[in-house]
Amino acid sequence: MIEIADGVFIKRHTELDLTLGYITGSGDSLLVDSGMDYALAQEIRPSRIVLTHNHFDHVLATEAFLPCEVWAHEDCVVDEELLESRAVYYSEPFEGKLIEPTHTFRDTVTLDVGGRRVDLHHFGPAHSSHDVIVHVPDVDVVFAGDLVEEGAEAKAGTDATPSNWRAVLDRILDLNPRIIVPGHGKPVDAQFVREMAIPGI
C-alpha cells in the first residue's frame, strides 16, 4: 500500500496496471474496487467496498473480503456476462463466486468511514453506464475508476457513452481535486484530466 494522502492509500498491480484505493478512518476502512487479487484480503479487512463499475478487473475478488457492504450505482450488475470479457484475457475459468452489490444509490450518497466523510457520485454515463466517483473531501482526493487512465489511452467498451465523457470529467474537476486516482496507472492531477483524450471522440 502506498499512502498518497493522510489515511488514503493506493494498491498498484502489475496485472493490467490496475490501481485500487483504500480509505481509512477511526477504526473503519473502505476499499475502492476489489480487483482480482484475493491475497489482498489477507492484508486488509474493509467494512465496505465501492465498485466504480462492473468490469471484471474491478470486481472479481469481492468474495474474498466478505463479510462487508458492497456499494455501487443502482445500474451496476455483476453477473456471468462480465466473465465473457475476462475470457478475452485469460484462458482459465474463473473459480470464484460473483458478488452482487448489497447497497446501491442513484446520484450521490455520503458514507461515514470512521468519522471521515466519503462521497460517492454518479455524474452520468461515460466509461460505463454506472460509473462511480469516490471523493475524499478532507484531503481533496478523487478515485475516478476507468474514467481516467494513466500510462495508456482510456478505453470505451460496448456500454460506454463517449459523448458524455468530457462532461463527467468536468464534474470531477468541479470537485477541485488535488489528486485523481485512475483505475489504471499512477495518480494524476487536474491538468492531466483536462488534457486527456476521450475514446471515440
State the average pLDDT over residues 132-142.
Answer: 98
SS3 for 200? Answer: coil
Strand pairing report for 116-121 and 133-136: antiparallel
- pLDDT tens figures, 150-187: 998 888 878 899 999 999 999 999 999 999 999 999 99
Contact status, residue 190 vs residue 173, Cβ threshold 8 Å: yes
Give Cα 32 distance to the centre of its chain: 5
- pLDDT tens figures, 52-67: 999 999 999 999 999 9
Beta strands in 51-176 (DSSP E): 69-73, 103-105, 108-113, 116-121, 133-136, 141-149
State the average pLDDT over residues 186-196.
Answer: 97
Q: Between residues 110 and 81, which one has the greater pLDDT?
A: 110
Rounded distance between C-alpha atoms, residue 72 and residue 116, angstroms: 19
Is residue 199 scored above 90 in pLDDT? Answer: no
Rounded distance between C-alpha atoms, residue 25 and residue 147, angstroms: 26
Q: In what helix (H) or strand (E) does residue 31 lie, and over which residues does it extend?
A: strand 28-32
Return the residue matching grid coordinates 485512475: 182
Q: How many domains does the chain have?
A: 1
* CATH code where residue 166 lies: 3.60.15.10
Rounded distance between C-alpha atoms, residue 26 and residue 113, angstroms: 7
Percent of the chain with pLDDT over 70: 100
Q: What is the structure's pLDDT at 156?
A: 85
pTM here?
A: 0.95
| Lookup: cell for 151 | 500510462
Q: In what helix (H) or strand (E) does residue 25 lie, and over which residues does it extend?
A: strand 19-25
Strand pairing report for 69-73 and 2-5: unpaired
- pLDDT tens figures, 25-51: 999 999 999 999 899 999 999 999 999
Residue at 201 is within a domain: no
pLDDT, mean over the chain: 94
Q: What is the structure's pLDDT at 85?
A: 79
Is residue 91 scored above 80 in pLDDT? Answer: no
Contact status, residue 70 vs residue 102, Cβ threshold 8 Å: yes
Residue at 200 is within a domain: no
Is residue 137 scored above 80 in pLDDT? Answer: yes
Residue at 165 is within a domain: yes
Q: What is the structure's pLDDT at 82?
A: 82
Distances (CA, A) of 36 to 40, 58, 115, 123: 9, 7, 29, 26
Is residue 189 scored above 80 in pLDDT? Answer: yes
Beta strands in the chain (DSSP E): 2-5, 8-12, 19-25, 28-32, 48-50, 69-73, 103-105, 108-113, 116-121, 133-136, 141-149, 179-184
Contact status, residue 44 vs residue 31, Cβ threshold 8 Å: yes
Domain extent for 97: 2-195
Give the DSSP letter string of 41-52: GGT---SEEE-S
Q: What is the structure's pLDDT at 95?
A: 84
- pLDDT tens figures, 93-108: 788 899 999 999 999 9
Q: What is the structure's pLDDT at 62?
A: 97
